[in-house]
């Protein structure tokens, strides 16, 4: 019988903040949500279930206003599973290809179950889907795991409200501001067409957690990121997860219907505003920022030699594949690579207008 983690709204951690230094300091946990991930992940690393042993990664901050966090992870670039051939954002699930029903059962850490006591019938039905958490055998950082909604449903890699809600709730369950969750659509470097999200710990603050934003649709909490790779932002505290998840899926469904690839990144962050008031506000992490980046689809294109542009790279975390690029790349070099995968200004502005109308209607 697999280990189960049963949680409720009462387990969300709201008193979270970064210290005044840039690094949180990885305190290994043995209890709660963080404990069950960290202990289970380390046990499976010691059992040799991973494609390589992940030690302390060389890390440096690239000079410049973007605050990029660069890490050298050569083994992931070499050993990770070859991505499946993807031809469309809407590609159907194919049981003949690799999927999470074919993994070694020992890779499963636990199942997440939301306690729905006191919820209405509709909410109980929504939560009936189980979330399986397993290790990513080609980890990019400590605790790298995958969140897979009931694998037996054989869902393609298209976000659902349940998956989005659980992604937000996972960040709220963690007491570590360095725990992040992300999603790559097909055509945005998702390597497996079986619905899953990534979760991992990064012991460094990212600029996206506190960047200013522009409000677009107040009633939906829909924002545009400013001074960052062209994308949108939502914000969820413990009281509005369901509402925000619904709005996020309205955006991602819009993108899927138009065959537009996209990446999402869920991280602790300050409440959205057009500027940060105080240092205390900048370090506050009571809620979750969810960034959504529409981007140029990558179907069968040659991978970048330095790093692929997916969920973590767009957020400012750069796992480099080779030592030369890791040591020599500048902020300008990184921006030049990322820009090749973003929509043009004209395309993004048109999409922003369409989404603003769609969400506001």
Three-state DSSP state, 262: strand
* Residue 149 β-bridge partners: 131
Q: DSSP state, 354?
A: H
Residues 196, 198, 262, 317: which is the catalytic one? Answer: 196
**How many CA atoms are closer than 13 Å to the CA of 265, on its beta-carbon side?**
29
144 is catalytic: no
Q: DSSP state, 17?
A: B
Supply the DSSP string of 190-242, one letter for each residue.
Answer: --SSS--EEEEE-SS--GGGT--EEEEEGGGTEEEESSSSS-EEEEE-TT-HH
Give the C-alpha separation, 75 to 45, whole Å. 15
Output the CA–CA distances (angstroms, integers) from residue 297 to 150, 185, 248, in the order listed.
27, 9, 20
The structure tokens listed for 115 are 């306690």
182 close to 266: Cβ distance less than 8 angstroms: yes
Three-state DSSP state, 38: helix
Residues annotated as catalytic (active site), given as ranges = 196
């Amino acid at each position: 019988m697999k280990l189960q983690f049963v949680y409720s709204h009462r387990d969300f951690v709201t008193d979270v903040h970064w210290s005044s230094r840039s690094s949180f300091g990885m305190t290994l946990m043995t209890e709660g949500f963080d404990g069950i991930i960290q202990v289970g992940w380390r046990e499976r690393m010691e059992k040799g279930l991973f494609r390589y042993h992940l030690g302390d990664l060389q890390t440096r901050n690239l000079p410049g206003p973007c605050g990029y966090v660069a890490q050298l992870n050569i083994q992931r670039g070499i050993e990770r599973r070859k991505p499946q051939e993807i031809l469309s954002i809407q590609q159907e699930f194919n049981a003949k290809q690799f999927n999470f029903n074919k993994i070694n059962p020992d890779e499963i850490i636990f199942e997440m179950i939301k306690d729905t006591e006191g919820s209405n019938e509709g909410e109980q039905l929504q939560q009936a889907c189980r979330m399986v958490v397993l290790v990513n055998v080609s980890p990019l950082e400590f605790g790298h795991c995958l969140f897979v909604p009931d694998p037996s449903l054989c869902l393609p890699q298209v976000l659902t409200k349940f998956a989005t809600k659980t992604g937000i709730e996972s960040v709220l369950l963690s007491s570590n501001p360095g725990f992040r969750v992300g999603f790559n659509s097909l055509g945005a470097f998702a390597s497996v067409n079986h619905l899953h999200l990534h979760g991992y710990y990064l012991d460094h603050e990212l600029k996206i957690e506190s960047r200013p934003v522009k409000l677009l649709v107040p009633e939906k909490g829909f924002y545009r990121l400013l001074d960052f790779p062209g994308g949108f932002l939502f914000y969820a505290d413990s009281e509005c997860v369901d509402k925000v998840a619904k709005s996020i899926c309205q955006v991602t469904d819009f993108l899927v219907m138009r065959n537009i690839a996209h990446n999402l990144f869920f991280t602790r962050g300050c409440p959205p505003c057009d500027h940060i008031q105080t240092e205390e506000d900048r370090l506050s992490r009571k809620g979750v920022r969810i960034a959504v980046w529409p981007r140029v689809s990558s179907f069968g294109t040659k991978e970048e030699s330095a790093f692929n542009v997916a969920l973590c790279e767009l957020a400012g975390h750069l796992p480099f594949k080779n030592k030369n690029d890791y040591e020599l790349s500048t902020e300008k070099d990184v921006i030049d690579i990322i820009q090749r995968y973003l929509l043009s200004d004209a395309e993004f502005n048109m999409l922003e207008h369409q989404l603003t109308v769609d969400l506001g209607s």
